[in-house]
Structure 1
């Protein structure tokens, strides 16, 4: 296993990222910051993870918000 010193998200799972953002912002504010339907219509961590794993541009936005908020 190689170390990734330049990857600030190394070791943090996507589920942790989404959960922390929801706890911090709530679904409504999160949807206003990142305009994606999985945060707007019947949001859940499970449905968000499914969408974010298939959609790289949305995942990039969520990861960037996480870094801006918590790092």
Structure 2
């Protein structure tokens, strides 16, 4: 930034171009982070579903074992 007659910094075209490039890169990074978060959410949801199914299967096995022991 260069000084202006009013004492306020003045943005040059080059500085504005660099700022625009930085903003574009930041937006791209934010988009990539959002995509990663979405993948993580889907993965977590799938893992929870698997864990729930395994817990149901374990409970069914425990019930079978308890029934066999009562015979």
TM-score range, shorter chain: under 0.3
- State the structure with more CA Rg: 2
Whose helix proportion is higher, 1 or 2? Answer: 2
Higher relative contact order (CA 8 A, sep 6+): 1
